Amino acid sequence: MAQQEKLMIGILGGEKSGKTHTWNLLFQKRLVITGRKIRRLHFDDKTYAEVFLVSRSAQKRKMDIKTILKDNNPQIVLCSLQYARNLSDTLKYFVDNGYFMYLHWLNPGYEEPNDLPLFYDSDLVDYILSVPSMLGVRNGKQNAKGRADEIRDFVYAWTKNRGLLKSTEKPKARKEE
């Protein structure tokens, strides 16, 4: 099987489930919003990965994910996914464009009752499990730092294994002999 060269990290949930809070913790900033450009996800003082963040879902915006991403063609997309009717269109976009999907399904979400059914739509789960992906359920009521750390670790390993880690250090000049 060919190695996936694009990655979509998705946090799936209802309104106020904890998606934005997770991104804020991941970037260690308050109110991280979708930008127009690629941004840096720092792992330490020197190393980072280039990512595109979609902090407000295409479903909530009532927009197509292709419109949000525009001409950026990002290698790594961090994406909020609202549980809504056109969610499958967003997932299909990533699959059709060669992204491996790593998904956290917040169930229950931060402001949801504890007695939700585990999966809202089994067709959606069947689709996710039939394409290159990893899907995990996380409790949105629990401390989000663990989710953010898990995502950071996954992105770090994925970029390192593909030689995509970036560094703020300048390469040392070679000495001429």
| Domain that includes residue 107, residue range | 6-167
Within a domain: 175: no
pTM of the model: 0.87
The pLDDT of residue 86: 82
C-alpha angle 63/74/49, rounded to 5°?
A: 125
Copy the structure tokens of residue 102. Answer: 């790593």
Mean pLDDT score across all residues of the chain = 86
What residues contact residue 141 under an 8 Å CB cut-off, 6+ apart? 108, 109, 110, 114
Within a domain: 64: yes
Within a domain: 47: yes
Q: Rounded CA gap, 44 and 49, in Å? A: 11
The pLDDT of residue 107: 84
CATH number at residue 130: 3.40.50
**pLDDT tens digits, one per residue of 17-64:** 899 999 999 998 876 777 778 999 999 999 999 999 998 887 777 788
In the chain, how many domains are there? Answer: 1
Closest Cα partner for 104 from 128, 69, 73, 68?
A: 128
- Tell me which of 161 and 175 has the higher pLDDT: 161
